[in-house]
Structure 1
């Protein structure tokens, strides 16, 4: 292929010779196709030669939407507008990638484009991406399908010699559209129906549900329910030290007749359920002679398989604490920007069978360019001499192996491995992730690790004690991770027929522990293996390769649950919130539990598979989905009880009015004796138990975030219980009512606040007065009352970022806060990081983190004094702050 040159497209590009437009899913694939076919000139957004034009999408460019007359805006959702089952679906461009869509539209409409080739990824989503583009552009050309599972030049050329017909791909296209439209129907109708139900008593309580999101949440909630209901049991273990001629070793008592019982997971071979039984063993064996027998067996351990995205996310979470979202972002950067990893959004852990040469070149590249990986890469290339044929070919340990090279285990993409590019200027997190992938890639070609595992049974006074040891005989693949021949847990030697004696022996008092909460690593595993939750054999088989979500979407599902406050992340644990429990109670009470179980996905996958095989019609499937959405809406709409059956709590803090017991129902916390009652979801935000206990005890709590106005906008507030007169007809015998304190009162006639006894946070930058905390704000002492002389104040919450007293102290003493990471734009909803900084005249504004200049780039221009327009717009939210300008830098 002649060296391609980059040009800007002109009118002369579109000639009269008929050409075929090839549309790939990603720019990198378009480039690979152009290189494999040869003879192309590169233009800004496409490649062209005498026969073909090659361009690409960047993933999904369009999303389905209801026709405009069905699109009811949020905040006006009600049962009157449900269910939403439009007669057809419109398409709308995804704003972020609209420019790429316009490029493809323009190419499709070129007069010389006589045919189209769908070169998007070989799978259901790749088919959908192309079909929606063709539909939106009203393409009339004949279509062929390129089906690739390997991206080597030979594989690409062979794929073009065996293009599939459009008719052959129609069943897959039908299945793709069904999946997309069904997800839309269930998500829209389920979310609007549950939101309408929860908002019946006023306000706007957004309650999102979805085919993948809700069963994932259900897994987390069910685990938390087990933890809450768990009752710890006391048990005992007996530990003894035994004296042998070569030294001392430890043994633990066990019952050799023990058999596992799945119904009683707490039962173990080494557990005793009575202190007396444990003490009797101690008494019987103390300072007694004992006989020994042991068995040593060889054991081997293969290297873990190559990474797919989910296993990479699990490993990175377990090793480094990276979230699934962060791991995906890092892997995407290593793929797109640095070009050192292959495509990361894959569910395969195998490589194509024609990839041996590519793997060899990759290992050779690591041997030549990395001191760290060179010894391991060279070991692979040299092999061990046992396979002379492979060694003669120069492959060493790289040889056909179905565990590594297997086309049948590849769908859209193969496993994540390093490329032939050498990394440059990686950040620390990027380097960590790259190292994980490279070491896993190298390890998989190494021989198995070899161990000698010894099990020693010591019998003393009729009781048995077990001791286990493991010695690494040959490290094999563990050498890649720095392991050498050494004892992991080598036992003190005991001679044949040697009699030992117990030295110290004790009974250990222990307690059973509840199941562990999910981390992102374990939740990703549960999502991946969700088929085991499905009872029906056909559905379980359909889900065997799918699970809940896809590798590319699981991180987004978890982040979505966190964003909607269904879960919170504490350290590495994922903990469901009160909102999550309330949703599960609602779905169970309405008898729409299909939304909470993986069975729904299993059922869909089974039927989508039948559609792909031509054994089920698209219309029949969509009719079933429409009926299901009708049923979900009907059950929510017709449920006429005030509460929902559920497992409700009695609070420990008594009623603030009469000291009676406060009990929970579906919608409220209410006193059993008097008329005191408060909503569980004021402002569309569900109370956690500890929060409502604090409110009942202290009569105030906050600031709290996550409230929503009637039109769905988020806000923060302090909640107070305010005393009300006993004769108030609106609150008979209630004593207190719940009120929001927004901290934005501007009453010039109000009395000045007395700050006596409060701790000042610092000196006001405007008037040198003292700044104090007051409700939802931080305010200068001279900015209260009718005679106020200063206007300095700032909110405790700025654009959904809480500003702590410590940060205000830093702002007042050093001129700016630490870098704060949870701001969220009111206009776009996107999060951003910034400092709050003092500017001229004591005004508060944003200062953004300086970006490192790119290599060879000119130094950045000096910043203008004062805020950018964007900063000005973002830093003056209502009820928060009048600050507009960032400090000078």
Structure 2
């Protein structure tokens, strides 16, 4: 008898219908008409034992001298839940009866780990165990995976790496968290983790760069076009050169319109291929940027589309496909779509560079399947349309641009103006992009106006959104300086995995280490560190190893080596133990005692000093109010103070500036729906925000 052990009930039902034709439902499993049996877990049924279950001294009630603990091959236990215990018994009973056990969980590290923990805890041995690796949940995709099944032993590297990853996270996370909390004297748990802590450090560092930023004003010399003053030639300066106003004036005085010479316009043709197909991370970034979705929302909706057989496997890091053998069938299945009709009529092929087996590991890019969707929810439809559009664009011609560079010289100085216009939209036509005519292609020297001084200013970094945070988690190598560290981070493609990055961000929100802040009319909310999150980062010196992405990348590279078979399990444990004891030593030697008042995540944050009575101003649900209200002070900036003018929320930073009698520039929306900017200030007498102009 063949027994398929799936990850969830819906998966067991889908596989059963695809491979057995028809199935009947039993208690905890399905039986196919051909005798095959399809049982299922509910995700993780088995976990590693908690350290204090092995030795009470390793838990929160144990002495600090017992830390750090280190355990190899942590024993497993059944998760304490009646439904899980019942289902586990059903699975084990069926495995004992089976001739062949087929691991049919999700095709990835996590799915493999879920199955192997069940098999290991059951103690069942000497069975023929196979691995069903399904990339595509359509009937043809499942049958293809069944025909290509391999021995489960061929995934031994992935199995060991899955075990070591769970053990590493537990050993580092629990030891570091207990040590930090106990040594700092905190009444609250101060959580540290192998991946969550460097990500939190990234957000805190960005926030503090912004808050400590000092604007620098500088100047340059320009020469506007007479017919369009918004376009102008700018003086070419040395790299990183910035002019003071006096120096800019001197440069301007040295120039003379009559001395202008060597005017020329250079044209360059640029071809842009379609956007890469979506990986999970790039899809999460896209949906956050354009729809304001969290990465968790994208993953959950994508998982549903996958289970509905509408898209291929979701937890992929690839933006490529290994071959185009399934493409014809997908196009034919969707030929009722006018965009697909256009592809078929023109006999267009998918962008050749997107077919790259070397850039596909476990799974290919996310693309539609042959299953045309029906009755999708609003969110499912929105996400599916984004995936479908990206897939369709990959067949369309390249977009063609013309780039113009106009230059002239005056005395020893050069001036330059560039312009880039779309001349053939190609795949960009599907985004509504139109062709344009360059305003400078026919420019003459006589069309250039008088010299002017232009004031500029440096800009602070922008706060993270989930889009930009995911980008930097992948490209975190750019945030470190050491070349060897950069190479490690590039090799493992950043910190976290496509499957775990959204859960890390979700965890940071849940633990109140970061919060989401809506700014203006932007879809994507900003991620801002809370006081609690900052305190965790401030308890240790900035060079603490857990604050750096390098440590987690180093461990990830070793886990990859285990998976590939180039590093033994025992050698990994040696490296892990050394890293753990280094972290423990850092904590014991450097942890700071914290002001416990700062650790209460519910503590009100002082926004500013009241300009009327001098007392503290706090944030509340509806606004920013003076704490002297009991004494009659009514100073309040309401968060919705500009809502009728199209600005939904006054941010904390904006309120602080307004209460300091500063003028701020805000984006508003007219009744006709047009955006415009206005300077506003806080009128202390009216107790309201008013126009400053």
TM category (shorter chain) comes to: 0.7 to 0.9
Shift of 1:548: 1.4
Shift of 1:180: 0.9
2:475 corresponds to 1:525: no
Of 292, 303, 322 in structure 2, the residue corresponding to residue 332 of structure 1 is 303
Q: Which residue of 2 aligns with 1:313?
A: 284
Of 159, 162, 168 in structure 2, the residue corresponding to residue 182 of structure 1 is 168
* Distance across 2 between alignment mates of 1:278 and 1:160: 72
Q: Which residue of 1 aligns with 2:366?
A: 416
Note closer, same or farther for the CA distance 1:682–1:120 as it changes in structure 2 (3 Å cut). Answer: closer
Q: Which residue of 2 aligns with 1:574?
A: 527
Shift of 1:303: 1.1
Q: Which residue of 1 aligns with 2:660?
A: none
* Distance across 2 between alignment mates of 1:430 and 1:288: 64
Note closer, same or farther for the CA distance 1:86–1:692 as it changes in structure 2 (3 Å cut). Answer: farther
Of 115, 139, 157 in structure 2, the residue corresponding to residue 130 of structure 1 is 115
* Distance across 1 between alignment mates of 2:181 and 2:67: 12
2:502 corresponds to 1:555: yes
**What do residues 288-318 of structure 1 show as CA deviations (whole Å, max 9, x unaligned)?**
5744310111111111111112111111121
Of 207, 222, 225 in structure 2, the residue corresponding to residue 239 of structure 1 is 222
**What do residues 819-855 of structure 1 show as CA deviations (whole Å, max 9, x unaligned)?**
xxxxxxxxxxxxxxxxxxxxxxxxxxxxxxxxxxxxx
Shift of 1:78: 5.8
Helix, strand or coil for the counterpart of 1:363? helix
Q: How many residues align?
A: 620
Do the aligned partners of 1:285 and 1:461 also contact (CA within 8 Å) in 2? yes
**What do residues 583-616 of structure 1 show as CA deviations (whole Å, max 9, x unaligned)?**
2232327x7x221112222221222233234343
Helix, strand or coil for the counterpart of 1:557? helix
Q: Which residue of 1 aligns with 2:684?
A: none
Q: Which residue of 2 aligns with 1:588?
A: 541
Of 390, 393, 398 in structure 2, the residue corresponding to residue 443 of structure 1 is 393
Do the aligned partners of 1:350 and 1:405 also contact (CA within 8 Å) in 2? yes
* Distance across 2 between alignment mates of 1:63 and 1:131: 11
Shift of 1:139: 2.8
Helix, strand or coil for the counterpart of 2:500? helix
Q: Which residue of 2 aligns with 1:491?
A: 440
Mapping for residues 379-390 of structure 1, pairs under 5 Å: 379-383=342-346
* Distance across 2 between alignment mates of 1:325 and 1:90: 31
* Distance across 1 between alignment mates of 2:447 and 2:116: 77
Note closer, same or farther for the CA distance 1:719–1:209 as it changes in structure 2 (3 Å cut). Answer: farther
Helix, strand or coil for the counterpart of 2:317? coil
- 5+ residue gaps in structure 1? 1-18, 261-266, 384-395, 645-665, 669-678, 705-717, 722-754, 760-803, 807-889
Q: Which residue of 2 aligns with 1:351?
A: 321
2:158 corresponds to 1:172: yes
Do the aligned partners of 1:242 and 1:250 also contact (CA within 8 Å) in 2? yes
Helix, strand or coil for the counterpart of 1:63? strand
* Distance across 1 between alignment mates of 2:184 and 2:617: 25
Q: Which residue of 2 aligns with 1:869?
A: none
Q: Which residue of 1 aligns with 2:340?
A: 377
Q: Which has the higher contact order (CA 8 A, sep 6+)?
A: 2
* Distance across 2 between alignment mates of 1:567 and 1:49: 52
* Distance across 2 between alignment mates of 1:554 and 1:598: 13
Q: Which residue of 2 aligns with 1:106?
A: 90
**What do residues 95-154 of structure 1 show as CA deviations (whole Å, max 9, x unaligned)?**
78x747744641431363123122334443232111112123333351433263643767
Shift of 1:82: 3.3
**What do residues 695-734 of structure 1 show as CA deviations (whole Å, max 9, x unaligned)?**
x964796879xxxxxxxxxxxxx9999xxxxxxxxxxxxx
What value does the CA root-mean-square deviation take over the aligned residues? 4.0
* Distance across 1 between alignment mates of 2:335 and 2:88: 42
Helix, strand or coil for the counterpart of 2:353? coil
Q: Which residue of 2 aligns with 1:785?
A: none
Q: Which residue of 1 aligns with 2:203?
A: 220
* Distance across 2 between alignment mates of 1:272 and 1:344: 48
* Distance across 2 between alignment mates of 1:377 and 1:341: 16
Q: Which residue of 1 aligns with 2:5?
A: 23
Note closer, same or farther for the CA distance 1:758–1:691 as it changes in structure 2 (3 Å cut). Answer: closer
Shift of 1:493: 1.8
Q: Greater helix percent: which structure?
A: 2
Of 229, 236, 243 in structure 2, the residue corresponding to residue 255 of structure 1 is 236
Do the aligned partners of 2:402 and 2:423 also contact (CA within 8 Å) in 1? yes
Shift of 1:521: 0.8
Do the aligned partners of 1:286 and 1:502 also contact (CA within 8 Å) in 2? no
Helix, strand or coil for the counterpart of 1:43? strand
Q: Which residue of 2 aligns with 1:41?
A: 23
Do the aligned partners of 2:20 and 2:32 also contact (CA within 8 Å) in 1? no
Helix, strand or coil for the counterpart of 2:319? coil
2:449 corresponds to 1:500: no
Shift of 1:477: 0.6
* Distance across 1 between alignment mates of 2:35 and 2:388: 39
* Distance across 1 between alignment mates of 2:147 and 2:382: 41
Note closer, same or farther for the CA distance 1:104–1:62 as it changes in structure 2 (3 Å cut). Answer: closer
Mapping for residues 769-780 of structure 1, pairs under 5 Å: none
Do the aligned partners of 2:102 and 2:132 also contact (CA within 8 Å) in 1? no
Do the aligned partners of 1:206 and 1:684 also contact (CA within 8 Å) in 2? no
* Distance across 1 between alignment mates of 2:633 and 2:447: 69
**What do residues 561-598 of structure 1 show as CA deviations (whole Å, max 9, x unaligned)?**
12222222222322223333332232327x7x221112
Shift of 1:38: 4.1
* Distance across 2 between alignment mates of 1:480 and 1:274: 46
Shift of 1:631: 4.4
Of 545, 570, 594 in structure 2, the residue corresponding to residue 667 of structure 1 is 594
Note closer, same or farther for the CA distance 1:50–1:424 as it changes in structure 2 (3 Å cut). Answer: closer
Which segment is superposed worse, 206-215 or 56-65?
Answer: 56-65
Do the aligned partners of 2:45 and 2:118 also contact (CA within 8 Å) in 1? yes
2:177 corresponds to 1:191: yes
Do the aligned partners of 1:122 and 1:411 also contact (CA within 8 Å) in 2? no
Q: Which residue of 2 aligns with 1:274?
A: 244
Shift of 1:526: 0.8
Mapping for residues 626-637 of structure 1, pairs under 5 Å: 626-637=577-588
Helix, strand or coil for the counterpart of 1:169? helix
Note closer, same or farther for the CA distance 1:515–1:576 as it changes in structure 2 (3 Å cut). Answer: same
Note closer, same or farther for the CA distance 1:321–1:153 as it changes in structure 2 (3 Å cut). Answer: closer
Of 297, 301, 311 in structure 2, the residue corresponding to residue 341 of structure 1 is 311
Do the aligned partners of 1:450 and 1:475 also contact (CA within 8 Å) in 2? yes
Do the aligned partners of 1:240 and 1:505 also contact (CA within 8 Å) in 2? yes
**What do residues 491-532 of structure 1 show as CA deviations (whole Å, max 9, x unaligned)?**
3623xxx54154344212222112222221111011112345
Helix, strand or coil for the counterpart of 1:362? helix
Helix, strand or coil for the counterpart of 1:508? strand
Do the aligned partners of 2:610 and 2:626 also contact (CA within 8 Å) in 1? no
Note closer, same or farther for the CA distance 1:149–1:693 as it changes in structure 2 (3 Å cut). Answer: farther
Do the aligned partners of 1:24 and 1:57 also contact (CA within 8 Å) in 2? yes
Note closer, same or farther for the CA distance 1:469–1:138 as it changes in structure 2 (3 Å cut). Answer: same
TM-score (norm 2): 0.78
Shift of 1:285: 5.1
Note closer, same or farther for the CA distance 1:614–1:333 as it changes in structure 2 (3 Å cut). Answer: closer
Helix, strand or coil for the counterpart of 1:446? coil
Mapping for residues 708-727 of structure 1, pairs under 5 Å: none
* Distance across 1 between alignment mates of 2:149 and 2:332: 34
2:272 corresponds to 1:301: yes
Note closer, same or farther for the CA distance 1:556–1:719 as it changes in structure 2 (3 Å cut). Answer: farther
- 5+ residue gaps in structure 2? 519-524, 641-693
